[in-house]
């Protein structure tokens, strides 16, 4: 249920900071792992909202444009999700080349509808984002300066997955196994199952590109190092099955070190059958892209549950950070505060920070109790 009543006081502050008739445009970028909660929070903050999105569904959309108002003040909110490190970079460096939905998109006639918003098309424009979401600390990226204001919005849990047709004996991945897998790119299935008959079968690593906070979190968690090059394989998928794998081609990143730009693409890769053709895969996704088709793995012998995260038993998680420049002001700053309140209240998949019995000081850092 929307939190309109709980946000009335903050909305009044927003109106005071806005001119009576101005239509303010606010742009948001960053973590694909946090987009579901952010999309829902934006709808919570706005009244009379209409929206259009790019992608297969609203929560997993790569771009969304919202039009609505806060206590009668019209606003346009646009999101363009590229990854945590990319979002930190784009806000910290005031990058004006991020592609956002064009304000000319008529959300009234296309309300709640998927619309093509390809970069460099008639439905997109380039602009600078005011707000970034990241599932890693700014210090875990190479974009440490200038320092952005950082507010913790929630907890993002992550999971490892194997290809959908993984054998019943493949149930768990340890941090040491993961370190070996992503460092070399492939290792024998027997390392995971303990069965000598699996020594001639291999599992291949795939995953996100270096701009992804999901990847940074995973590499920090397994002790590989957030800035280390990995060896990812790119699967060829036909009719729901992996038919070939190739070391990720060189391009923006060195050969093997590239990867997918979104968690939804990773989800597609692990939902394909791979083991039957000799190309079984393992990867990781954030909560927005969890699968009921791929084979979910426990991590270090512990299965995911919200309670296991809250008590520190399951450690594959990170903080969702909401970031901005300290100079943000006026309408944008007021909206930032409204949005933070709404994201923190989201219970659809986020674990609230107020429910946690443990904390950590950095990505992959030790888990410490917050109780006496």
CB burial string 135-166: b at 16+ within 10 A, e below:
bbbbebbebeeeebebbebbbbbbbbbbbbbb
Q: The dihedral of CA 243, 175, 150, 51: what is its sign?
A: positive
pLDDT of residue 7: 53
User: What CA–CA distance (Å, rounded) separates 113 from 119?
Assistant: 18
Sequential pLDDT tens for the chain (372 residues): 455 455 544 544 454 444 444 579 999 999 988 888 999 999 999 999 999 999 888 988 999 999 999 878 899 999 999 889 999 999 999 999 999 999 999 999 888 999 999 999 999 999 999 999 999 999 999 999 999 999 999 999 999 999 999 999 999 999 999 999 999 999 999 999 999 999 999 999 999 999 899 999 999 999 999 999 999 999 999 999 999 999 999 999 999 999 998 888 999 999 999 999 999 999 999 988 899 999 999 999 999 999 999 999 999 999 999 999 999 998 899 999 999 999 999 878 789 999 999 999 999 999 999 998
pLDDT of residue 17: 46
What's the 3-state SS for the chain? CCCCHHHHHHHHHHHHHCCCCCCEEEEEEECCCCHHHHHHHHHHHCEEEEEEEECCCCCCCCEEEEEEEECCEEEEEEEEECCHHHHHHHHHCCCCCEEEECCCCCCCCCCCEECCCCCCCCCEEEECCCEEEECCCHHHCCCCCCCCEEEEEEEEEEEEEECCCCCCCCCEECHHHHHHHHHHCEEECHHHHCCHHHCCCEEEECCECCCCHHHHHHHHHCCCCCCCCCCCEEEEEECCEEEEEEECCCCCCCCCCCCECCHHHHHHHHHCECHHHCCEEEEEEEHHHCCCCCEEEEECCECCCHHHHHHCCCCCEEEEEEEECCCCCHHHHHHHHHHHHHHHHCCCCCECHHHCCEECCCCCCCCEECCC
| Four-way CATH pick for 5-154+318-369: 3.40.640.10, 1.25.40.10, 3.30.420.40, 3.40.190.10 | 3.40.190.10
Domain ranges across the chain: 5-154+318-369, 158-311
Fold equal for 5-154+318-369 and 158-311: yes
pLDDT of residue 13: 47
Return the ∠ at Cα 119 (arms to 98 and 53), rounded to 5°.
95
pLDDT of residue 16: 45
| Four-way CATH pick for 158-311: 3.40.1160.10, 3.40.50.300, 3.40.190.10, 3.40.50.10190 | 3.40.190.10
pLDDT of residue 18: 45
Q: What is the pTM of this model?
A: 0.88
């Amino acid at each position: 249920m929307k939190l309109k009543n709980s946000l009335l006081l903050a909305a009044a502050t927003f109106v005071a900071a806005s001119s009576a008739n101005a239509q303010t445009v606010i742009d948001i970028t960053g973590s694909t792992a946090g987009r579901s909660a952010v999309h829902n929070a934006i709808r919570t903050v706005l009244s009379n909202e209409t929206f259009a999105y790019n992608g297969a569904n609203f929560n997993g959309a790569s771009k969304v444009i919202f039009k609505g108002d806060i206590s009668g003040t019209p606003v346009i909110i646009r999101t363009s999700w590229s990854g945590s490190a990319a979002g930190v970079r784009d806000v910290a460096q005031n990058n004006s080349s991020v592609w956002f939905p064009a304000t000319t998109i008529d959300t009234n006639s296309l309300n709640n509808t998927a619309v093509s918003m390809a970069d460099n098309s008639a439905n997109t424009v380039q602009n600078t984002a005011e707000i970034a979401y990241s599932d890693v600390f700014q210090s875990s990226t190479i974009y440490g300066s200038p320092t952005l204001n950082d507010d913790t919005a929630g907890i993002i849990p992550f999971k490892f997955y194997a290809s959908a047709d993984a054998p019943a004996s493949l149930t768990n991945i340890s941090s040491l196994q993961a370190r070996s897998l992503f460092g070399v790119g492939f290792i024998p299935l027997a390392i995971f199952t303990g069965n000598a008959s699996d020594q001639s079968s291999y599992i291949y690593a795939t995953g996100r590109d270096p701009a992804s906070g999901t990847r940074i979190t995973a590499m920090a968690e397994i002790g590989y190092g957030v800035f280390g090059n990995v060896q990812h394989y790119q699967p060829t998928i036909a009719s729901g099955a992996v038919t070939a794998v190739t070391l990720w081609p060189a391009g923006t990143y060195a050969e093997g070190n590239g990867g997918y730009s979104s968690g939804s693409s990773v989800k597609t890769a692990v939902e394909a059958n791979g083991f039957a053709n000799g190309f079984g895969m393992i990867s990781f996704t954030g909560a927005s892209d969890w699968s009921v088709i791929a084979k979910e793995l426990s991590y270090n012998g512990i299965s995911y549950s919200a309670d296991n995260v809250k008590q520190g038993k399951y450690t594959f998680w990170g903080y969702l950070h909401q970031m901005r420049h300290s100079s943000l002001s006026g309408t944008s700053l007021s909206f930032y505060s409204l949005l933070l309140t709404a994201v923190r209240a989201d219970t659809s998949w986020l674990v609230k920070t107020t429910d946690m019995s443990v904390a950590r000081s950095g990505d992959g850092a030790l888990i410490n109790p917050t109780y006496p």
